[in-house]
Structure 1
Amino acid sequence: MKRPAWLPDSLVLMLIATVALAMLVPVHGRGVAVLDVLTQLAVALLFFLHGSKLSRQAVLEGLLHWRLHALVFAATFVLFPLLGLALRPWLEPLVGSTLYLGVLFVCALPSTVQSSIAFTSLARGNVAAAMCSASTSNILGMALTPLLMAAMAQAIGVSAGAGAVHLSWHTFEGIVTTLLLPFVAGQALQRWTGPWVARHRAWIRISDQGTILLVVYGAFSAATVQGLYRHLPLATLLALLGVCALLLAIVMPLLTLLSRALGFPREDEIAIVFCGSKKTLASGVPMAQILFAGQAVGLLVLPLMLFHQLQLMVCAPLARRYARQAA
């Protein structure tokens, strides 16, 4: 039976229910550690299934797809920072100097890994290229984000504590153990697991959606427990949400137009849009604690919290629309 046009997408309904559950029953205490483990297991399973599904030729083509990676990196580390600086005359008076610095921090961050790949898979895009691009973005971001943040902070006459920056092996270790190793295991066992995955493609979809829902629940739970939404007036929160929406409203259509103008096929366009428009929360919060040591870190990461949650809510229906068009 055809879904009525007025009825929201099923994934959007699940996201709304997840957000409501996180606000009513947020996870806290030991439950946070349990949720983190469940999320890591879900991500590992997702990458194992993709490793079992993708052919080695597709993986190699994804690694060598330099034009796609160049566009994603340009959007992540050039377009976003330029937008943040160019919009300063309007953004800073709207949200204040501290939150504006937090917006610049969002603009300097690398792409997400888990949700970028999950949404690309859900939209039937180039998963291999998305995996390579998002993972490399996170690795490069360990060095580029502090440098970009220091340069932008200096440009607006604010100290971001950049002199205290230390690169950590923890992020590299997380990418390798949680993402790369399960994917390599799936590739190594593809001879045995590949046929099963091909017969049960629904598992890929369930894994994609389950990972997204776990990330959303964790993000909103953390925000609820920390009371981030109660620290500022409602008008300021709405203005900050509007700023995040503005950034997405500029970057996502622009990446779509650029992808088509440069002749990228549909699968590559999907990977470019989802990888190039996202910012990581998992790496962003630890970086903020170092870059903004001694400052109001909870307030400075609020734009990142809002942007992260908004990007998930926006990308969910977009991914499903891409999938319906492909079908």
Structure 2
Amino acid sequence: MKIDLFIVYLLLSILIAFLFPQLAIYQDGTVLDGITSVGVGLIFFFYGLKLSFEQIKSGLKNWRLHILVQSATFLIFPILVLLFKPFVGAYISEHSWLGFFFLAALPSTVSSSVVMVSLAKGNIPAAIFNASISGLLGVLITPLWMSLFLDFTTENVLLDVYVGLMFEIILPVIAGLFLQKYWGTWAKNNNKHLSNFDKTVILLIVYGSFAKSFDDGIFKTLSAKYLLGLFLAVVFLFILVYVLLFIVGNYIFRFNREDQITLLFCGSKKSLTHGSVFGKFIFMNNPYMGLYFLPLMVYHAFQIFVITFIAQRYHNKSAK
């Protein structure tokens, strides 16, 4: 098992945010916000350049698998976290629970899901379809879920969130699709460099979020006990969803091996890329933004480690 350097860089970005928060709050954060906004637009523009219509069309046929994956992503996850809402105040703080609910409402990952499904010899076209459609559905569904527990009533904040996501995600994707015939080959040939660019923008967003929270003193009250509880809760949520999907896919829908792998890998993962971008708009000017990102970052690291291990096991079995 190799160490994922991106996880190390995430931790370093938090350390830099703690030591040098001034870079993020310079001119009230407008400089860093402007840089990340341009970066996000480019991420999804390049995503549009690389989007494969043929592979998505090929994956359309397996509608039962798609419905179950998207239901897991946008229904099962949020409902499981909602079950713990009555305990807020007594055993769980409002901000901790909201961070977990934000994690639960996010779309699935894109590139890592497809890579892991490919490694495990799963249904790759179905993985591409679900990973692609999940991010687009998330633009609509995630803010709706969050609007149930955040004050989006003043100055029509929910509309502002949708407008922001439209300009930074949907329109760049559409532009990328239109220019795919000119630059699509270039984007695919430079996929590794574009992936590094994506990660750099995410690191800037994470740095800015945590720097503002550190500057406001949000993390001063966090204890080792809290962080341990956070980690255990993340592990519990992942295992619960993974086991549920395994039972449903294997014993109720009776998927074949390839579809079962795609269901498990796509249905149990959450996207740090979309979470970072969505959080910019959903938690705009919220001093607790860094705190809300914590469950997502822990989940991201844990899912990469576990799914990589499981994918390797599947790969080894198929090679025998």
TM-score (norm 2): 0.70
Identity level (%): 23
Q: Quote the offset at 1:8 in angstroms.
A: 2.4
For 2:25, the equivalent position in structure 1 comes to: 29
Measure the CA separation in 1 of the matches of 2:200 and 2:51: 20
Deviation larger for 255-264 or 208-217: 255-264
Partner of 2:121: none
Q: How far off its partner does 1:103 sit?
A: 1.0
- Give structure 2 stretches of 5+ with no counterpart: 119-123
Moved more, 26-35 or 16-25: 26-35
> Which of 197, 202, 224 is equivalent to 2:192?
202
Tell which deviates more after alignment, 28-37 or 64-73. 64-73
Query: Which residues in structure 2 correspond to 1:225-244 (within 5 Å)?
Result: 225-236=215-226, 238-244=228-234
1:48 to 33, 45, 69: 45
C-alpha displacement at 1:237, in angstroms? 5.1
Shift of 1:117: 3.1
Q: Which amino acid aligns with 1:176?
A: M
2: distance between equivalents of 1:10 and 1:102?
27
What is the CA distance between 1:89 and its match in structure 2? Answer: 7.9
Q: Which residue of 2 aligns with 1:153?
A: none
Q: CA deviation at 1:139?
A: 0.8
AA matched with 2:193 = W
- Structure 1's 266 and 72: CA in aligned 2 closer, same or farther, altered over 3 A? closer
**How far apart, in 1, do the equivalents of 2:208 and 2:293 lie?**
11
- Report 1:118-267 matches (<5 A): 119-120=112-113, 123=116, 126-147=127-148, 149=149, 166=156, 168-236=158-226, 238-252=228-242, 254-255=244-245, 258=248, 262=253, 263=255, 264=259, 266=261
Task: Give CA-to-partner distance per residue, 1:29-52, whole Å, 9 cap, x none.
Answer: 236333323323333222222322
SS in 2 for 1:274: coil
Q: Distance in 1 between matches of 2:5 and 2:13?
A: 12
Question: Which letter does structure 1 place at the counterpart of 2:46?
Answer: L
CA distance in 2, matches of 1:254, 1:118: 24
**Does the Cα contact within 8 Å between 1:72 and 1:272 map onto a contact in 2?**
yes
| 1:182-241: CA deviation from partner (whole Å, max 9, x where unpaired) | 222222222221222233332233234324433332333233222211135554454345
Aligned residues of 1:197 and 1:203 also touching (Cα < 8 A): no
Is it true that 1:117 corresponds to 2:118 in the alignment?
Answer: no
Can you list the C-alpha shifts for 1:99-130, whole angstroms capped at 9, x where unaligned? 157515743776446x8335446656734532
Asked if the contact 1:102/1:303 (under 8 Å) is kept, the reply is yes
Give RMSD over aligned pairs.
Answer: 4.3
1:310 aligns with 2:298: yes
The answer on whether the counterparts of 2:74 and 2:141 sit within 8 Å (CA) in structure 1 is no
Q: Secondary structure at the match of 2:24?
A: coil
Structure 2 residue 101 is the aligned partner of structure 1 residue 107: yes
Instruction: After superposing the two structures, state which structure 1 stretch, 306-315 or 252-261, moved more.
Output: 252-261
**Per-residue CA shift, 1:52-73, capped at 9, x if unaligned?**
2232223455778754553344
Bigger shift: residues 263-272 or 306-315:
263-272
Structure 1 range deviating more: 259-268 or 303-312? 259-268
Instruction: Indicate the residue corresponding to 1:12 in structure 2.
Output: 7
Separation (CA, whole Å) in 2 of partners of 1:91 and 1:36: 32
Q: How does 1:277-288 map to 2 (within 5 A)?
A: 280=275, 283=278
Deviations 1:143-193 (A, max 9, x none): 44445x5xxxxxxxxxx8798795622222223221222222222222221
TM-score by length of 1: 0.69
Residue number in structure 2 paired with 1:152: none
Q: 1:80 to 1:190 in 2, by over 3 A?
A: closer
